[in-house]
Amino acid sequence: MTHYDHKSIEAKWQKHWAANKTFKATNNSGKPKFYALDMFPYPSGAGLHVGHPLGYIASDIVSRYKRHKGFNVLHPMGYDSFGLPAEQYAIQTGQHPAETTKTNIEGGTDKSGNKIAGYRNQMDRIGFSFDWDREVRTSSPDYYKYTQEIFIMLFDSWYDNDADKAQPISLLESRFRESGNSNINAATDEDLKQFTAAEWNAFTEKEQQEILLDYRLTFLADTEVNWCPALGTVLANDEIVNGVSERGGHPVVRKKMRQWMMRISAFAERLLTGLEGLDWAESIKEIQRNWIGKSVGAMVSFKLNEHKIDVFTTRPDTIYGVTFMTLAPEHELVDQITTAAQKDAVEAYKKATAARSERERMADVKTISGVFTGAYATHPLSGEPVPVWIGDYVLAGYGTGAVMAVPCGDERDHAFANYFAGQEGMPAIKNIFDGVDISEEAYGAKDKTPLCNSDFLNGMSYKQAMYTAIQKLEEIGAGKGKTNYRLRDAVFSRQRYWGEPFPVYYKDGLPQMIDRKHLPIELPEVDEYLPTEDGAPPLGRATTWSWCTKENKVVSNDDDRDCVYPLELNTMPGWAGSSWYMFRYMDANNENEMFSAEAQEYWNNVDLYIGGSEHATGHLLYSRFWVKLLHDLGKVTVEEPFQKMINQGMILGESAFVTRVNNMVSLRDSIKRPELSLTDAVKESTIRRLKLSNQYYISDFGNKEEREALRQIILNDLIKEYPNETEWENTENFLHFYVDVIPANVEFVNRDNELDISAFKNWRNDAKNAVFYSSKDGTFKVSREVEKMSKSKYNVVSPDDICDQYGADTLRLYEMFLGPLEQAKPWNTAGITGVYGFMKKLWKLYHNDAGFSVSEEKASPDSMKTLHKTIKKVQDDIENFSFNTSVSSFMIAVNELTAQKCNSREVLEPLAVLVSPYAPHIAEELWSLLGHKESISEAPFPVFDEKHLVESSKTYPISFNGKMKFTLDLPVDVSKDELEKMVLENEKVQQQLEGKQIRKTIIVPGKIVNFVVG
RNA sequence: GCUCGAGUGGUGGAAUUGGUAGACACGUUGGACUUAAAAUCCAAUGGGUAGUAAUGCCCGUACGGGUUCAAGUCCCGUCUCGAGUACCA
């Protein structure tokens, strides 16, 4: 074989690696460990596209590099295989989601007869060094039994604020038995009733369980949820984008439902501080910080008759600036405090806000609205009356749903006060900032401006007043320092089929956990994947979905024994399985526990995590939460799962569009009065619509000439079609057609944006007989737009075609060559020939016309220099995750070695190892041609030796006044003074200096020489 | 609006702590080989300008300032684009 045959080489080595389990990781090894993890994919029916492997290639390069460097590398892959698309597809086709999911992973033919390549096959073709023996699928009962187990662990835990960790619920029970709950500082909802030990012990079992439910880290609660009617399920906050569902873009409404919740808010502070030690992109950390939304301030109570209105404020220092209060319209006290006179107005306002959808409220933040309740609260410090308003700028869900309004210091309060200025219940704005004009806008700065009109706070600055005010409020029992978080508890129930069932049954309306030893509770069979007629989730259709506490198994719903109880009908959300999978890989085939302590201790946590940044507030926050729980319960030794993370940029698709003439054209009626101007003629004519029986597509609609020509063609067709029409000759100026833009599958478009018309016709049934009007040069062009790659946009490019045509090694190199990993970029194969050319040149270095040929002679110093500078560059690049520049340096190395006619083993052997992380197939082939019997995968990485780069001279840029004029070769091993002397003696330098005076000479040895002249 | 990030040839992108801007690749142009095409190889390629030429000069990293012997890189201001967030008290 003398030419580079990627097909046979790649097939050969992929087979070899699989047969020899070359990349199997062991859980005990004397080598240092390295754990490289990719965010696992959701196996969709569209298959893997060229965007998926981008991150996988990067992590694979690092993994292979680390193996060369002597590490024991864990580099696993699996599937996040529960999820909505499979279920939507199941609803449409009636196929079990488990089947379609399996086909999407393993390949096969779907119900409509489409060939599905399968994620696994597609990945295998790219030559990843995954340890496939550790594959996980979140939808497999072998896996989700442990997801269920973690749910039980959450149920069996509460958050102890004093110890600042999750604790077993049994500990809480024993403390209740001993001393009631007054000394317990737990993360719970506010306002739990207090009880003594005696009271606790006197409670019935059911009462006790109800109380415990308020403390558990997963609990049932009636909450306002985001209900998506189109998807038939609730959604978490992070699953909603701009007020519509992230998947599908369906509207979302607020609805009160009984749901499983996760008390992630208990971990808010640790989730925030934990970010500090992580080597993540600052932007992701920032997104998480914003999402957690910590604000430090105080709770302040305002008395109103027998009621008490609590507010949260971050500015207790401005307490004397309170001019009024505002409650959210949904606030529970509103009805109780509203005066008779204001009742109608308040009712009307409440009704109006309730009718506004979440989306409207979000879109419209400018409009100010509100109503006075007629009530006055009492200022806790000054004792003055404070009017109470309601307004929808106050959110029911944040803080207490009420604010103390300080117009002089808060922009929203300022706007509200001005809008209602002069009306009943709106006093003049109190200004507490000495010497600050607040007539135009509020003064929000937290600087040293002294306070005034503030009694004992007068003269104090922000910090001091904050502290003093809180102290005073605590003293008189009217408030206390408090930290608030925006992070809400997460809804954990989904009214869907294709997710983990809860290990929960209900006895007397109270949830009971099924004992861990009876897991998994497997998904039941249902006749349809839709909600039941009375609105219960799909699991409500299962006929065998009850729990027998005697036999400890799932039994028929018809079983009417006393020991049989109904099972939970909701399933878990998509993020459940992905919140802990990184640990399962460590011990993926353990049948007795989720993973052994030894395995976890050995692998610790993930050293390098690569994936998209779109999971910033979902997966990456929830998995950190679960890991903190597992840590508190002693299950894992780490508190953070992903030490180092890189977010690869999305590879975008270039969608293709063709312009189609609508099947209706409008025709201005014939005009026979040449004396009229065109405008008047149009005015006096009538419009008739004619239907075209043909469809017309036009290549270059923007071109006027082309449009005119197409108009003629259509007109001619119309004349034939409507022979009874008269006066056609006069109508040509008045024929109008309208166009729409139709997406074309990018598979039918070549690199020059030309459409394969016959393929398009074949693909779109309604275009079979259409007329395609090409451009003058005979081609039919599409227009392009860069968008996210998706099946529905027909712009998905599969890596398989690239593998066929150029090979996996070229694909790997090319994806890296496109640019920095983190950057988003459109997929465009324009440059791939350059990379393929490189592969051929690399191959040729090891071959002559006759075949493989490598000499045993010593390499030239030049070649050694090329090799060693490449070693250094590639090593530095991989350590810095700068993969695109490595590819360039390979190209430079091969170009140089070719020019040097180098074919010495001394250089070519280490070169093969250098290339191996990037282009493993060709590296293995060359390695074996070089006579090695073992795989190249563990060959030691070449060691960089500076001595090959040492030179006797360096080319210095010589500049004058900072401008580089020419270069000079100067010796390296001379002093600065000698260097200066040599430069000054130079003829060219003298020329430049002629007639000028040297004011300063800067010589940086090894860098530059600069003369300041004048 | 706020927060974060980014603006470099026709294109994707290089430029380690301030030290030869445009590496590498695509594209384009010209040439060699060929009956021809493909493939391959060679050369040129930021813009302007002077010269027959060798060669030289000027301008150039979004825009306007600044610091420095020296700025794509540091500082201040402006503009544009992208991402996140959206009344969070």
| Strand B reaches within 7 A of the A1003 CB | no
pLDDT of A320 above 60: yes
Nucleotide nearest to A616 (CA to C1'): B84
Q: Which nucleotides of B are covered by protein (CB under 7 A)?
A: 3-5, 11-16, 19-21, 23-27, 40-41, 56-58, 69-71, 82-89
pLDDT per position as a tens digit, A24-50: 999 988 899 999 999 999 998 888 888
Chain A 787..826 CB hits on strand B (< 7 A):
817-820, 823-825
Q: What is the mean pLDDT of residues A792-821?
A: 89
Nucleotide nearest to A315 (CA to C1'): B89
Q: How long is the CA A969 to C1' B53 vector, in angstroms?
A: 27
Nucleotide nearest to A487 (CA to C1'): B88
pLDDT of A1011 above 60: yes
Q: How long is the CA A410 to C1' B78 vector, in angstroms?
A: 29
Q: How long is the CA A625 to C1' B73 vector, in angstroms?
A: 40
Q: How long is the CA A588 to C1' B22 vector, in angstroms?
A: 50
How would residue A992 be classed by pLDDT, with cut points 50, 70 and 90?
A: confident
Q: What is the mean pLDDT of residues A976-1005?
A: 79
Strand partners, A159: A166
Nearest protein residue to nucleotide B85, judged by CA and C1' positions: A290
Q: Residues of chain A with pLDDT > 70: what percent?
A: 92
Strand partners, A755: A749
pLDDT per position as a tens digit, A553-600: 999 999 889 999 999 999 999 899 999 999 999 999 999 999 999 999
Nucleotide nearest to A283 (CA to C1'): B4
Q: How long is the CA A828 to C1' B27 vector, in angstroms?
A: 13
Tell me which of A301 and A975 has the higher pLDDT: A301
Q: How long is the CA A966 to C1' B58 vector, in angstroms?
A: 16
Chain A 51..80 CB hits on strand B (< 7 A):
none
Cα separation, A405 vs A403, whole angstroms:
6
How would residue A237 be classed by pLDDT, with cut points 50, 70 and 90?
A: low
Nucleotide nearest to A326 (CA to C1'): B89
Its ipTM equals 0.93
pLDDT of A357 above 60: no
* Omega within 30 of 0 (cis) for the link into A520: yes
Q: Hunting for tokens 């070693």 — which residue is that?
A: A871
pLDDT per position as a tens digit, A93-121: 888 999 999 999 999 887 778 888 999 99
Contacts of A126 (CB under 8 A, 6+ apart): A53, A56, A57, A799, A803, A808, A811, A812
Chain A 958..997 CB hits on strand B (< 7 A):
959, 961-967
How would residue A296 be classed by pLDDT, with cut points 50, 70 and 90?
A: confident
Nearest to A379 by CA among A297, A459, A455: A455
How much is the pLDDT for A730?
52
Q: How long is the CA A889 to C1' B25 vector, in angstroms?
A: 11
How much is the pLDDT for A554?
93
Q: What is the mean pLDDT of residues A481-508?
A: 90
A884 exposed, middle or buried (CB, 10 Å; 0-12, 13-18, 19+)? Answer: middle
Between the CA of residue A1014 and those of A184, A477, A624, A958, A1011, what are the distances in Å? 80, 77, 63, 16, 10
pLDDT of A996 above 80: no
pLDDT of A731 above 60: no
Nearest protein residue to nucleotide B14, judged by CA and C1' positions: A885
| Strand B reaches within 7 A of the A840 CB | yes
Whether A111 and A119 have beta carbons less than 8 Å apart is answered as no
How much is the pLDDT for A164?
92
Give me the residue spans of the domains in chain A: 26-148+575-647, 294-485, 503-564, 652-788, 806-948, 953-1013
Nucleotide nearest to A960 (CA to C1'): B69
Nucleotide nearest to A293 (CA to C1'): B88
Nucleotide nearest to A835 (CA to C1'): B25
pLDDT of A942 above 90: yes
Contacts of A17 (CB under 8 A, 6+ apart): A23, A127, A129, A935
Chain A 866..885 CB hits on strand B (< 7 A):
873, 876, 882, 884-885
Nucleotide nearest to A391 (CA to C1'): B87
pLDDT per position as a tens digit, A692-707: 777 788 876 766 777 7
pLDDT per position as a tens digit, A963-976: 888 887 888 777 77
pLDDT per position as a tens digit, A137-154: 999 999 999 999 999 999
Nucleotide nearest to A291 (CA to C1'): B85
Nearest protein residue to nucleotide B86, judged by CA and C1' positions: A362
| Strand B reaches within 7 A of the A131 CB | no
CATH number assigned to the domain with residue range A953-1013, chosen from the 4 options 3.90.650.10, 3.30.930.10, 3.10.20.590, 3.30.565.10: 3.10.20.590
Chain A 212..251 CB hits on strand B (< 7 A):
237-238, 241
Nearest protein residue to nucleotide B12, judged by CA and C1' positions: A818
How much is the pLDDT for A263?
92
Nucleotide nearest to A367 (CA to C1'): B87
Q: How long is the CA A962 to C1' B18 vector, in angstroms?
A: 12
Whether A119 and A38 have beta carbons less than 8 Å apart is answered as no
Cα separation, A815 vs A808, whole angstroms:
10
Chain A 296..315 CB hits on strand B (< 7 A):
297, 312-315
| Strand B reaches within 7 A of the A1013 CB | no
Q: What is the mean pLDDT of residues A991-1009?
A: 79
pLDDT of A226 above 90: no
The CATH superfamily assigned to A294-485 is Valyl/Leucyl/Isoleucyl-tRNA synthetase, editing domain (3.90.740.10)
Local structure of A731: helix, strand or coil: coil
How much is the pLDDT for A249?
72
Q: How long is the CA A823 to C1' B7 vector, in angstroms?
A: 14
Task: Kindly state the DSSP code that residue A781 receives in the 8-state scheme.
Answer: B
Kindly report the average pLDDT of chain A as a whole number.
86
How would residue A85 be classed by pLDDT, with cut points 50, 70 and 90?
A: confident
| Strand B reaches within 7 A of the A841 CB | yes
Nearest to A913 by CA among A904, A900, A926, A902: A926
| Strand B reaches within 7 A of the A892 CB | yes
Cα separation, A615 vs A247, whole angstroms:
14
| Strand B reaches within 7 A of the A1001 CB | no
| Strand B reaches within 7 A of the A691 CB | no
Q: How long is the CA A690 to C1' B3 vector, in angstroms?
A: 55
Nucleotide nearest to A957 (CA to C1'): B20
Nearest protein residue to nucleotide B15, judged by CA and C1' positions: A885
pLDDT of A930 above 90: yes
Nucleotide nearest to A844 (CA to C1'): B40
Question: N- to C-terminal Cα distance for chain A?
Answer: 66
pLDDT of A234 above 80: no
Domain boundaries A806-948, corresponding CATH code: 1.10.730.10
How much is the pLDDT for A674?
57
A723 exposed, middle or buried (CB, 10 Å; 0-12, 13-18, 19+)? Answer: exposed
The CATH class that applies to domain A26-148+575-647 reads: alpha beta
Q: How long is the CA A830 to C1' B63 vector, in angstroms?
A: 33
Q: How long is the CA A468 to C1' B9 vector, in angstroms?
A: 62
pLDDT per position as a tens digit, A239-270: 666 666 766 777 777 677 888 999 999 999 99
Cα separation, A604 vs A582, whole angstroms:
10
Cα separation, A306 vs A327, whole angstroms:
17
Q: How long is the CA A930 to C1' B53 vector, in angstroms?
A: 51
